[in-house]
Amino acid sequence: MNSEDLNVKSLGKPALQSILKPSSLSKDDSFGFVEDEDRVLLDASLKHFLYCKESNTTPFSFEKAGPHQHLFFKSEDTRVAIVTCGGLCPGVNDVIQSLVNQLSYRYYVKQIIGIQYGFQGFIKEYNHPVVELTPKSIDKIHLFGGTLLGSSRGKQDTAQIVDRLIELDIDILFCIGGDGTLRGAHAIHQEIVKRNLLIAVAGIPKTIDNDISFIDKSFGFETAFTIAGGIIRSAHNEAIGAWNGIALVKLMGRNSGFVAANAALAMREVNFVLVPEDPFELHGSKGFLKALRKRLENRHHALVVIAEGAGQNLFDTANTEKDASGNILNKDIGLFLKQKISEEFHSANFPFTLKYIDPSYILRSTPANANDSKFCGLLAQNAVHAAMAGKTDFVVGHWNDHFTLIPIPLAVSETKRIDVDGELWWNVLESTGQPSKMRT
Query: Residue 272's closest CA among 250, 253, 242?
Result: 250
Least confident interval from 25-34, 50-59, 104-113, 225-234? 25-34
Q: Please report which confidence band the pLDDT of residue 330 belongs to, taking 50, 70 and 90 as the band edges.
A: confident
Among 3.40.50.460, 3.40.50.2300, 3.30.70.360, 3.40.50.720, name the CATH number for the domain at 221-365+420-432.
Answer: 3.40.50.460
- Which residue among the candidates 171, 209, 278, 358 is catalytic per the annotation? 209
Name the amino acid, one letter, at 242: A
- Mean pLDDT on 393-401: 96
pLDDT at 318 over 80: no
pLDDT per position as a tens digit, 336-351? 999 999 999 999 999 9
For 322, counting Cβ atoms within 10 Å of its Cβ (0-12 exposed, 13-18 middle, 19+ buried), the class is exposed
Q: Please report which confidence band the pLDDT of residue 24 belongs to, taking 50, 70 and 90 as the band edges.
A: low
pLDDT per position as a tens digit, 27-74? 555 568 998 889 999 888 888 777 777 888 888 899 999 999 999 999
- Mean pLDDT on 202-209: 94
Could you tell me the maximum CA-CA distance found in the chain, to the nearest angstrom? 78
pLDDT per position as a tens digit, 284-308? 999 999 999 999 999 999 999 999 9
Among 3.40.50.300, 1.10.1050.10, 2.40.420.20, 3.40.50.450, name the CATH number for the domain at 3-218+367-411.
Answer: 3.40.50.450
Q: What pLDDT shows up at residue 323?
A: 63
Contact of 7 with 404, CB cutoff 8 Å:
no
- Average pLDDT over the chain, rounded to an integer: 92
Sign for the pseudo-dihedral over CA of 21, 25, 28, 30? negative
Q: What pLDDT shows up at residue 324?
A: 60
Q: Do domains 3-218+367-411 and 221-365+420-432 have the same CATH topology?
A: yes
What is the C-alpha separation between 401 and 62, in angstroms, rounded? 12
Residue 64: its H or E element: strand 61-64
Q: β-pairing, 200-205 with 172-177?
A: parallel
Q: Please report which confidence band the pLDDT of residue 154 belongs to, taking 50, 70 and 90 as the band edges.
A: confident
What is the C-alpha separation between 251 and 258, in angstroms, rounded? 10
Q: What pLDDT shows up at residue 105?
A: 95
pLDDT at 26 over 60: no
| 419 labelled catalytic | no
Domain positions in the chain: 3-218+367-411, 221-365+420-432
- Mean pLDDT on 374-391: 97
Q: β-pairing, 245-251 with 301-307?
A: parallel
Residue 247: its H or E element: strand 245-251
- Mean pLDDT on 228-251: 96
For 194, counting Cβ atoms within 10 Å of its Cβ (0-12 exposed, 13-18 middle, 19+ buried), the class is exposed
Q: Please report which confidence band the pLDDT of residue 375 belongs to, taking 50, 70 and 90 as the band edges.
A: very high
Q: 420: which residues sit within 8 A by CB, 6+ positions away?
A: 277, 278
Contact of 92 with 409, CB cutoff 8 Å:
no
Q: 307: which residues sit within 8 A by CB, 6+ positions away?
A: 250, 251, 252, 253, 256, 257, 259, 260, 274, 275, 276
